[in-house]
Amino acid sequence: MATKKRQIYNKKHFEEVKAKGMCPSHPITPVVFGHTVCRNCHAELHFEIGNHTENIFKWYNLQDKINFNKCNICGYNKCIAVIDGHHINPENKEFGLAELKRNSFNYNNMIIFLNEIKKCIPMCKNCHTELEKEKRTNAI
pLDDT tens for residues 9-47?
455 555 555 555 556 665 555 555 555 677 787 788 777
Confidence of residue 132 (pLDDT cuts 50, 70, 90): confident
Instruction: Parse the chain into domains and list their residue ranges.
Output: 1-51, 54-140
What is the C-alpha separation between 34 and 70, in angstroms, rounded? 26
pTM of the model: 0.73
What is the C-alpha separation between 45 and 57, in angstroms, rounded? 15
CA angle 117, 103, 54 (to 5 degrees): 100
